[in-house]
Amino acid sequence: MEHNDGRTSFPMCFIFYTPRDAHMELQVMYAGTQRALAAAVGAPRLLEVREIDELTADWLNEKLKR
């Protein structure tokens, strides 16, 4: 990721993917553990994807700019 001042950084994030058609029990279980898992691996950002087609370089760059 390039910043306006010319620096380049490589932000770490945890991308959490849960398909929309996953069983509700699994969705609840995953939702309950995603923050703990992201914290355990040291990822300061948690991003969620519900449709695999959403996961593109443009999507990721937009999320990381926030």
Q: What domains are there in the chain, each with its CATH number?
A: 13-65 (3.40.20.10)
Q: Residue 60 corresponds to which tokens in the numbers above?
A: 């990721």
Q: What is the C-alpha separation between 1 and 18, in angstroms, rounded?
A: 26
Tens digit of each residue's pLDDT (9 = 90 or more) over 16-55:
888 888 888 888 888 778 888 888 888 888 898 988 999 9
> 11 with 42: CB under 8 angstroms?
no
User: pLDDT value at position 65?
Assistant: 80
Tens digit of each residue's pLDDT (9 = 90 or more) over 1-26:
677 898 887 778 889 888 888 888 88
Match 């309950």 to its residue by tokens. 32
Whether the full predicted model's pTM is greater than 0.85, yes or no, is no
